[in-house]
């Protein structure tokens, strides 16, 4: 659905302040996939989300959406509007309308839908992010931080993007908030969007919610694949300053010592069961 081919991006290109952010990135997201994007600070994750949503134009390379090269378009954002939705980090800072419902209607309204259609889309999005009707007329400034983030996500989801991209959606959330966020994204996927790409610093987030992982390192793709394939490469990940989940590391060490395990173990429960079965012989 979205395909990046040999994408390069440099901020302040051709100036003394030039900062290379993406180097020859090839990456594609197909319908139905959920991707986690990880990498250390400054590895290019946010730049990648902005390239994918058309906010930034690659310095070289192509971005294809359903086979159409959007880099050739004068206004890539207009072409991708409503097809690729980007939720920025701390999106709650961008709420500005006087009521929750108006804020969520803003995107669909901008796409040219009638008032009734906007309301319908906004209400559906609210239900899926777990906000009931009592929130509609509240000011976005009088609700809690967690609720604000839901409103902000609903605002993007209300546009029914094919691909929903979220930059560090779990930033600042406690473990309970994080679980609620992923539950909410699980509800949204397949209903209001077809694919999800989320950026995270946490391997545990990726293990919990992604099917596939893209690992960025200094603007380049270090590796990508299914969660199992990527977490197997724990040495590579650790060399890039990333931590695999603790249990995965434990199992990798046991494998190095010659103990065979069939699959990559991502949760403590699975690890306990696998080790128990081994000991039982
Ligand atoms: N507006 C900008 N102007 C100049 N350089 C920038 C700008 N935004 C990002 N960069 C640089 O581009 C590189 C990639 O930054 P990017 O924000 O994409 O990384 P990131 O992986 O999202 O980092 P973080 O985990 O801290 O959010 C970094 O070297 C960064 O300093
Ligand atoms: Mg970032």
- The confidence score (pLDDT) of residue 11 equals 97
Residue 153 · residue 126 · CB < 8 Å: no
More confident residue, 4 or 250: 4
Sheet holding 2-11, edge to edge: 19-29, 2-11, 60-65, 68-69
Per-residue confidence band for 81, with pLDDT thresholds at 50, 70 and 90 = confident
Tally Cβ neighbours within 10 Å of residue 102: 19
Which tokens belong to 19?
């900062």
- pLDDT at residue 101 in the model: 98
Q: How much of the chain, in percent, has pLDDT values that exceed 70?
A: 99
Residue 130, CB-side half-sphere exposure with 13 Å CA sphere: 14
Q: Is 46 in the pocket of ligand 1 (CB under 6 A)?
A: yes
159: left (phi over 0), alpha (psi -120 to 50) or beta: alpha
CB of 13 within 6 A of ligand 1: the answer is no
1-10, 177-186, 204-213, 230-239: the lowest-pLDDT one: 230-239
pLDDT of residue 132: 95
Could you tell me the pLDDT band of residue 122, with boundaries at 50, 70 and 90? very high
Question: What pLDDT is recorded for position 89?
Answer: 93
3-state DSSP assignment of residue 63? strand
pLDDT at 246: 73
Ligand nearest to the CA of 42: 1
Cβ–ligand 1 distance for 43 under 6 Å, the answer: yes
Mean pLDDT on 101-122 = 96
> Which residues fall inside 5 Å of ion ligand 2, going by CB?
45-46
141 lines ligand 1 (CB under 6 A): no
List the one residue out of 54, 59, 52 whose CA is nearest residue 29: 52
For residue 168, how far is its CA from the centre of ligand 1 (angstroms)? 14
Q: What stretches of 137-261 show up as alpha helix (H) in DSSP?
A: 145-157, 175-188, 203-209, 227-232, 234-239, 246-256
Q: Which ligand is nearest to the CA of 201?
A: 1
136-146 mean pLDDT = 94
- Least confident among 31-45, 90-104, 252-266: 252-266
Residue 112 CB partners (closer than 8 Å, separation 6+): none
Is the CB of 44 within 6 Å of ligand 1?
yes
CA distances from 171 to 31, 96, 104, 139, 161 (A): 26, 21, 21, 23, 22
Residue 209 clears pLDDT 90, i.e. is over it: yes
Q: What is the pLDDT of residue 262?
A: 73
Residues 145-169 as b or e (16 or more Cβ within 10 Å = b): ebbbbbbbbbbbbbbbbbbbbbbbb
Q: Decide: 134 and 77 in contact? Cβ < 8 Å.
A: no
How high does pLDDT run on average in the chain?
92
Instruction: Give pLDDT, residue 249.
Output: 77
**At which residue do the structure tokens 């293990």 appear?**
207
Residue 252 is predicted with a pLDDT of 79
End-to-end CA distance of the chain: 46
pLDDT at 232: 82
What average pLDDT does range 61-83 have in this prediction?
88
CA distances to 229, 231, 255 from 200, rounded to whole Å, are 18, 15, 27
**Predicted confidence (pLDDT) at residue 96 exceeds the cutoff of 80:** yes
How far is it, in rounded angstroms, from Cα 218 to Cα 135? 42
Check residue 210 and give its pLDDT. 95
- The CB of 45 under 6 Å from ligand 1? The reply is yes
Nearest CA to ligand 1 atom 25: 41
pLDDT for the residue 75: 82
Tell me if 210 sits within 8 A of 35, measured CB to CB.
Answer: yes
Mean pLDDT along residues 66-72: 91
pTM of the model: 0.91
Please check the confidence at residue 113 and state whether its pLDDT lies above 90.
yes
Q: Whose CA is nearest to atom 13 of ligand 1?
A: 21
Q: Quick: pLDDT tens for 233-280.
A: 878 888 888 877 777 778 878 888 998 887 767 777 888 888 898 888
pLDDT over 80 at 27, yes or no: yes
Ligand 1 lined by 217 (C-beta under 6 Å): no
Give the per-residue pLDDT at 112: 93
């Amino acid at each position: 659905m979205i395909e990046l081919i040999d994408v390069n991006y440099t901020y302040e290109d051709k100036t003394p302040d030039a900062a290379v952010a993406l180097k020859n990135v090839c990456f594609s997201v197909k319908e139905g996939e959920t991707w986690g994007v990880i990498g250390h600070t400054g590895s290019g994750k946010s730049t990648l989300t902005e390239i994918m949503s058309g906010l930034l134009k690659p310095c070289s390379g192509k971005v294809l959406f359903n086979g159409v090269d959007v880099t050739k378009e004068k206004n890539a954002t207009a072409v991708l509007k409503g097809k690729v939705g980007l939720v920025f980090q701390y999106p709650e800072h961008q709420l500005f309308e006087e009521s929750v419902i108006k804020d969520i209607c803003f995107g669909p309204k901008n796409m040219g839908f009638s008032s009734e259609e906007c309301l319908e889309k906004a209400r559906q999005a609210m239900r899926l992010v777990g906000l009931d009707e009592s929130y509609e007329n509240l000011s976005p400034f009088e609700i809690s931080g967690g609720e604000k983030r839901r409103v902000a996500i609903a605002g993007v989801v209300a546009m029914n993007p094919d691909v929903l991209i979220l930059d560090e959606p779990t930033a600042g959330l406690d473990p309970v908030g994080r679980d609620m966020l992923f539950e909410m994204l699980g509800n949204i996927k397949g209903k209001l969007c077809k694919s999800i790409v989320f950026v995270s610093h946490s391997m545990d987030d990726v293990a919990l919610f992604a099917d596939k992982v893209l690992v960025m390192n200094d603007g380049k793709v270090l590796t990508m694949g299914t969660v199992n394939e990527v977490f197997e490469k724990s040495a590579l990940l650790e060399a890039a300053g990333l931590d695999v989940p603790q249990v995965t590391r434990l199992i990798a060490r046991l494998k190095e010592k010659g103990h065979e395990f069939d699959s990559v173990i991502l949760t403590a429960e699975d690890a306990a069961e696998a080790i128990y079965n081994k000991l039982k012989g």
